[in-house]
């Protein structure tokens, strides 16, 4: 995801360098003509996608519960504790709020590029539209990344700065993921935390999380001129040289993004707690659903099964639909949790976490289009000197990162 963000966000920079300036008039930034990311599908593909989603939903909520011996999920949801279900909805809203707070901490609080402020309303539009894109399209999160990067560029932020901060955002968000798996895996595997679990369910995920954390952290040790050192490989012409020229920018942007994330942590920016809130409140939704239908297992078991199930988002399915549910239910079964309780809790949780942001996210998508149209009008009347000054500030921000 970090590499996709770096390549996607840095693409307009090359266009801006190659575009000639018209004599006698200011030249608007190249990203003014960049269109909103969208997924183009034919009518047949849309129908097939709709049938696939309906089939998965029907299997999860009608067939799977019967296989587990609990009838249908929808019938049992009616018998669930309404107060706990309402608490789960509130907890999910708090999770979304944490995501917005983290977005502002990374892209607004220390932002150097946009000439206009990105307020809370604009932050909500960008994050909710990105979350909806992530859940609705089978792109492993790339759809949300592309939409967020596009909106930031249209706000006036320089492309390379967007790429750097996007990497920092992903590192901070998934750093909490990896740290949680490492801590909980060791705690469960050693018996320090209640819940038990096999070596494969506890220590192995902890080892993988440790390796990934060390690999990402090592990127901060790359020299600042790594792009220049690799640049000589891109000399010459032809398709291969073109792809190499684009590829050599990735290590530099990744290293800059990791260093930015580390710098934010050192500054103890309270907005970084948004990453903890995003994951923590979402896990608590699953915990609340266990309370709604029975007695929950130890929270540390819910914690680990949740993160194991989230690996289903890597599957080429819309929002990990089917993969996340199967992963979580399988993990709970491996921990010895009652299968019927796990099915009810997980499917109820996904009913809240997956579908709750869909409608407001779709509304935010269209609101964001109007916001960007307003930004375009404002930028059309902005003198070119302001854009050049912004570019100079951006270069300084990247160097300091």
Asked if residue 23 has pLDDT above 70, the reply is: no
Cα–Cα–Cα angle for 263, 268, 274, rounded to 5 degrees: 100
**Phi, then psi, of 381 in degrees rounded to 5:** -100, 0
Cα gap 225→252, rounded to integer Å: 8
Does residue 396 carry a pLDDT above 60? no
In which band, very low, low, confident or very high, does the pLDDT at 240 lie, cut at 50, 70 and 90? low
pLDDT band at 387 (very low <50, low <70, confident <90, very high): very low
What pLDDT, on a 0 to 100 scale, did the predictor assign at position 230?
Answer: 54
pTM, to two decimals = 0.76
User: Helix axis angle, 159-189 relative to 384-400, nearest 10°?
Assistant: 30
The DSSP call for residue 225 is: T
Per-residue pLDDT at 266 exceeds 80: yes
- Angle at 233 (CA atoms; ends 228, 236), nearest 5 degrees: 110
Given phi > 0 = left and psi -120 to 50 = alpha, else beta, which region is 191? Answer: left
d(CA 169, CA 275): 9
> What are the tokens at 400?
């300091």
Using only C-alpha atoms, what is the Rg of the chain? 23
Mean pLDDT of 226-248: 54
Q: Is the pLDDT confidence value at 237 over 80? A: no
* pLDDT above 70 as % of the chain: 62
Residue 296 to residue 292: CA distance in whole angstroms: 9
349 token code pair: 């949780």
Tokens representing 43? Answer: 């009518």
User: Residue 34: which of 6, 7, 9, 1 has the closest Cα?
Assistant: 9
Neighbour-count burial for 55-87, b at 16+ CB within 10 Å, e otherwise: ebbeebbeebbeebebeebeebbeebeeebbeb
The residue ranking higher by pLDDT, 230 or 353, is 353
Query: Range with the lowest mean pLDDT among 17-26, 241-250, 276-285?
Result: 17-26
Model confidence over 33-75: pLDDT tens digits?
556 655 544 556 555 555 656 666 665 666 566 665 555 555 5
- Mean model confidence pLDDT for the chain: 75
Query: Is 197:189 a contact under the CB 8 Å cutoff?
Result: yes
> Is 159 in contact with 31 (CB distance < 8 Å)?
yes
CA–chain centroid gap for 327, Å, is 19
pLDDT score of 146 more than 50: yes
User: What are the tens digits of pLDDT across the range 88-108?
Assistant: 999 999 999 999 999 999 998
Q: How far apart are CA 381 and CA 10, in angstroms?
A: 25
- pLDDT, residue 12, reads 40
Q: How far apart are CA 313 and CA 311, in angstroms?
A: 5
- Integer Cα distance of 57 and 343 in angstroms: 13
Alpha carbon of 188 to those of 56, 93, 106, 299, 345: distances in Å?
33, 29, 33, 11, 22
CA 153 to chain centre: 18
What are the tens digits of pLDDT across the range 148-157?
888 888 888 8
Angle between helices 323-334 and 299-310 (to 10 degrees): 140
**For the residues 212-223, what does the mean pLDDT come to?**
84
Contact between 329 and 346 under an 8 Å Cβ cutoff? The reply is: yes
pLDDT digits (tens, 9 = 90+) for 168-205: 999 999 999 999 999 999 999 999 999 888 999 999 99
Task: Quick: pLDDT tens for 286-316.
Answer: 999 999 988 899 999 999 999 999 988 777 6
pLDDT, mean of residues 3-12 = 41
Count of alpha carbons within 13 Å of 82, Cβ hemisphere only?
A: 1
Band of the pLDDT at 119, cuts 50, 70, 90?
confident
């Amino acid at each position: 995801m970090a590499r996709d963000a770096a390549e996607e966000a840095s693409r307009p920079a090359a266009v801006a360098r190659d575009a000639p300036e018209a004599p006698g008039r200011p030249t608007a930034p190249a990203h003014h003509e960049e269109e909103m990311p969208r997924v183009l599908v034919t009518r047949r593909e849309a129908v097939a996608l709709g049938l696939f989603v309906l089939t998965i939903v029907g299997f999860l909520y009608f067939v799977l519960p019967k296989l587990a011996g609990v009838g249908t999920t929808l019938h049992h949801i009616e018998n669930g504790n309404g107060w706990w279900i309402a608490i789960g909805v509130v907890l999910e809203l708090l999770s979304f709020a944490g995501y917005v707070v983290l977005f502002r901490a990374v892209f607004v609080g220390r932002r150097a590029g946009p000439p206009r402020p990105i307020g809370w309303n604009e932050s909500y539009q960008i994050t909710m539209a990105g979350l909806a894109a992530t859940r609705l399209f089978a792109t492993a999160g790339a759809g949300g990344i592309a939409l967020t990067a596009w909106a930031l560029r249209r706000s006036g932020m320089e492309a390379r700065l967007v790429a750097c901060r996007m990497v920092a955002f992903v590192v901070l968000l998934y750093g909490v993921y990896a740290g949680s798996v490492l801590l909980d895996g060791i705690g469960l595997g050693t018996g320090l935390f209640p819940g038990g679990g096999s070596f494969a369910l506890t220590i192995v995920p902890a080892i993988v999380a440790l390796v990934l954390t060390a690999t990402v952290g090592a990127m901060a040790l790359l020299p600042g001129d790594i792009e220049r050192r690799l640049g000589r490989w891109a000399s010459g012409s032809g398709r291969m040289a073109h792809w190499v020229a684009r590829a050599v920018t990735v290590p530099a942007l990744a290293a800059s993004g990791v260093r930015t994330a580390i710098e934010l942590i050192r500054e103890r920016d309270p907005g970084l707690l948004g990453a903890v809130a995003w994951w923590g409140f979402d896990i608590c939704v699953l915990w609340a659903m266990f309370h709604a239908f029975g007695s929950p297992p130890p929270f540390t078991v819910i914690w680990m099964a949740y993160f194991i199930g989230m690996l289903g988002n890597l599957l080429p399915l819309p929002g990990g639909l089917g993969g996340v549910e199967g992963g979580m239910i399988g993990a709970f079964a491996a921990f010895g949790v009652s299968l019927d309780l796990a099915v009810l809790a997980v499917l109820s949780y996904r009913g809240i976490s997956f579908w709750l942001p869909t409608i407001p996210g779709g509304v935010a998508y269209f609101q964001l289009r109007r916001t960007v149209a307003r930004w375009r009008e404002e930028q059309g009347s902005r003198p070119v000197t302001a854009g050049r000054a912004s570019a100079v500030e951006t270069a300084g921000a990247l160097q300091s990162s």
